[in-house]
Amino acid sequence: MRRKRSNGALAVVSVVGMIAVISRAHADPAADCNQAGNPDARIRGCTTLLKSGRLTPVDAALALHFRGSAYADKEDFDLALADFDEARKRDPRFPAPIAGMALALDSGRDACTRNSDRARQLRVCSALIRFAGDGGLPLRRWALVERGLVYREHGMRDKAIADLKAAIALEAAPATENGREDVERARRALAGLNAR
């Protein structure tokens, strides 16, 4: 009588094959950096390539763009914006980081205003403020107002007042309709805080 062969051998071969695939993925940072399905693998692969110091400015810009996209996928807008900005500096002719920045800023604005997680709101608003620096005054002003409103909603009066005053101080920044609305929102919120 012949014994049937167990599927256990097949399972062992499958597990060994999966380990080999995983090992190859980690052994090839370029492949990890270029894939889009796993943001953590993409960040790890691109970071390894960037740390190698062997990339041309054009390739470094591409790796920074891919890593920035992975950070944006994970909603880590602070790091995403920093990578897109650095990619733009490394290769000013490469347009993708500008598009990535626009998408990250748009998503970041949503996360700053429409989120029930206060810590995340504050982190994203703070990232937008840092990213805007002195060159992006309309965005900085808007993010200061939003962060000030989050502070106000959660009883952080002193921080709210500081952000709202900082936003009002930027009133001289390019006068757009949205900019005037931001300053008026800041003034109304500040008046409400001072009335307490």
Q: How confident is the prediction along the chain (196 residues), in pLDDT tens digits per residue?
A: 444 444 433 333 332 232 233 334 456 999 999 998 899 999 999 999 999 999 999 999 999 989 998 988 887 877 888 888 888 888 888 777 666 776 777 777 777 776 677 787 788 788 778 777 666 677 788 889 889 998 998 899 999 999 999 988 887 655 666 677 888 888 888 888 877 6
Please, how many CA atoms are within 13 Å of residue 93, restricted to the half-sphere of its CB? 3
Q: What is the largest CA-CA distance in the chain?
A: 93
Give the DSSP H/E element, type plus range, for residue 116: none
Q: Are residues 107 and 139 in the same domain?
A: no
| 7, part of any domain | no
Q: Are residues 123 and 89 in the same domain?
A: no
Q: Are residues 99 and 161 in the same domain?
A: no
CA nearest neighbour of 101 among 109, 93, 50: 109
Q: Are residues 101 and 147 in the same domain?
A: no
Q: Are residues 129 and 163 in the same domain?
A: yes
pTM of the model: 0.58
Q: Are residues 169 and 123 in the same domain?
A: yes
